[in-house]
Structures are given as C-alpha cells and as structure tokens.
C-alpha cells in the first residue's frame, strides 16, 4: 500500500507548570513522526539546556532583528522574556511532511490558531490551582514571586480554554499522555492529511 501524508502542526499550550514540557518530551521520544519546533528566546539558558535543541538563545538585539525580518510565525512576551516561533523551523518541516510540535504560551497559541486554522490545538490543564502551585515549586526554576505571577496568569488563561479543539487534564501523567497521544493518532488519519493509495 502506498500512502502520502501532509505534515500537521500541533499546538500544545496551557498555563506554566501544567506539564506541557513533560508531555511534549515524552511524545517526541515515542513518536518519530513528530519534530519539535525550536523557538528563539531572549531568556538565559538554564542548566542543561542546549542551544538549538531547547531554544535558540538570542540577545535582545538579535531578537529585534528577527522581528524586523518578519521571521516569526508568532511571538510573545511570556513572564518577562521574549519568545518566538520561527517560520523557517515550522515551514521547513511541514514541507517535508513532518508533524511539528509547538509548546507555546496561550498568547502565541491564539496567534497560531488564527494564522494556521488547520493546526491541531490542545490545552493542558492542571487538576487544581493548589497542585499547580506545588508543581511550580517542585520544578524549582522560579522564585516565589514569579510563581505567584504565573499562578495569577493561569486563571485568565484557563478561561480561554474554549478556543482550543481539545482539553487534557494532566492529573495522572500516564492518563494525560494516553489522551494526548490518542488525539495525535486520530488527527494523523484525517483525510485532509492522509492519502492512502489503493493499488
Ligand atoms: P510546563 O512545561 O507546562 O511549564 P513542566 O512540564 O515543566 O510544565 O512541569 C512542571 C512540573 O510538574 C515539573 O516538575 C514536572 O516534573 C511536574 N509534572 C508534570 N506532570 C505531572 C503530573 N501529572 N503529576 C505530577 N507532577 C507533574
Ligand atoms: P520556559 O522559559 O519555561 O521554557 O517557557 C516559558 C513559557 O514560554 C512556556 O509557557 C512555553 O510554552 C512558552 N514558550 C516557549 N517558546 C515559545 C514561543 O516560541 N512562543 C510563545 N508564545 N511561547 C513560548
């Protein structure tokens, strides 16, 4: 059986600390048809983060140059730093028929949904605000004031959940992962993206 596939763009979004990164890493590990779109950011690398793998770490000036060149599919200031999805990353992979995964904040997700209405959009929710606070503390990447700011943003972001095609509550990680994988598996088989040729 011959078959052709068109690449799909999967947008994973939700409040900080809900487990987007955790779920995306697992997806990328298990599904070779998925590639991560590496964003540009002005924030400093954290320990263990690799240039060109986790992000392209750029200066404020380099970020301004990218903006001036219209290099971003979307861009946003998130928790005080600038982040942008590079059109070059997304388009190059989509043209090769690769499925592209974006882990971006809700402002950016809204913009991608506007510009690429054929994308698959998934909103990841925490089981409770209490648990979200625990996760942000446990992750140990942000100071207490920053955590409160992220929790404050989470309420407004969750109110906009209806903009997305799918919602997944990340309480039990295995269950959330199973649900997310099922969404992606089904979306790959849409006849707008999947073209089996019966010979
Ligand atoms: P995000 O990328 O959405 O900001 P992370 O993937 O960094 O969130 O997850 C935030 C923290 O919560 C991490 O320490 C991660 O290990 C933890 N975490 C993720 N999913 C779960 C889960 N289902 N149950 C408990 N802890 C989780
Ligand atoms: P972190 O700095 O913890 O890696 O990411 C902070 C937030 O920025 C996360 O919510 C993440 O999804 C978001 N983010 C990462 N890359 C991009 C991007 O290119 N665009 C937008 N809008 N958000 C991004």
Containing structural domain, residue 188 = 2-192
Domain assignment of residue 122, yes or no: yes
pLDDT at position 82 is 98
Q: Could you write out the DSSP letters of every residue in the chain?
A: -EEEE---EEEEE-STTSSHHHHHHHHHHH-TTEEE-PEEESSPPPTT--BTTTEEE--HHHHHHHHHTT-EEEEEEETTEEEEEEHHHHHHHHHTT-EEEEE--HHHHHHHHHH-TTSEEEEEE-S-HHHHHHHHHHHT-S-HHHHHHHHHHHHHHHHTGGGSSEEEE-SSHHHHHHHHHHHHHHHHT-TTTEEEE--
Pocket test for ligand 1, best of 11, 12, 16, 19 (most atoms within 8 A of CB): 19
Q: How far is the CA of 191 from the centre of ligand 2 (A)?
A: 31
Is residue 138, in this structure, part of any structural domain at all?
yes
Domain membership of residue 108 (yes or no) is: yes
Going by pLDDT thresholds of 50, 70 and 90, the confidence category of residue 47 is confident
Does residue 149 lie in a domain region? yes
| Within a domain: 199 | no
pLDDT value of residue 80: 86
Q: Is the pTM of this model over 0.85?
A: yes
Would 159 be classed as within a structural domain? Answer: yes
Nearest atom in ligand 1 to 139's CA:
14
Protein residue with least CA distance to atom 23, ligand 2: 104
Residue with the nearest Cα to atom 17 of ligand 2?
104
CA distances from residue 143 to 36, 139, 148 in whole angstroms, order as listed: 28, 11, 9
Residue nearest to atom 15 of ligand 2 (CA): 104
C-alpha of residue 197 to centroid of ligand 2, in Å: 39
Q: Is position 145 within any domain?
A: yes
pLDDT tens by residue, 92-144: 999 888 999 999 999 999 999 999 999 999 999 999 999 999 999 999 888 89
| Alpha carbon distance 183, 81 (integer Å) | 31
pLDDT at 122: 98
Pocket-forming residues, ligand 1, beta carbon under 6 Å? 16-22, 135, 138-139, 170, 173
**Domain count of the chain?**
1
Let me know if residue 198 belongs to a domain: no
First to last CA, the chain: 7
Strand partners, 28: none
pLDDT in tens, 146-177: 899 999 999 999 999 999 999 999 999 999 99
Residue 81 is part of a domain; what is its CATH number?
3.40.50.300
């Amino acid at each position: 059986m011959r078959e052709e596939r068109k690449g799909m763009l999967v947008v994973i979004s939700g409040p900080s600390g809900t487990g987007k990164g955790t779920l995306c890493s697992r997806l990328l590990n298990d599904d070779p048809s998925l590639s991560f779109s590496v964003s540009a950011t002005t924030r400093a690398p954290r320990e263990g983060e690799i240039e060109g793998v986790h992000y392209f770490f750029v200066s404020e000036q380099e970020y301004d140059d990218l903006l001036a060149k219209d290099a971003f599919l979307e861009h946003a200031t998130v928790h005080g730093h600038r982040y942008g999805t590079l059109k070059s990353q997304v388009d190059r992979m989509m043209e090769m028929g690769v499925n592209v995964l974006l882990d971006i904040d809700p402002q950016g997700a809204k913009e991608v949904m506007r510009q690429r209405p054929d994308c698959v959009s998934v909103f990841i929710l925490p089981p409770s605000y209490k648990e979200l606070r625990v996760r942000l503390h446990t992750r140990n990447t942000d100071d207490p004031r920053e955590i409160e700011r992220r929790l404050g943003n989470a309420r407004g972001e969750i109110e906009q959940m209806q903009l997305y095609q799918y919602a997944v509550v990340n309480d039990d990680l295995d269950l959330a992962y199973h649900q997310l994988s099922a969404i992606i598996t089904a979306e790959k088989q849409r006849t707008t993206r999947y073209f089996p040729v019966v010979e």
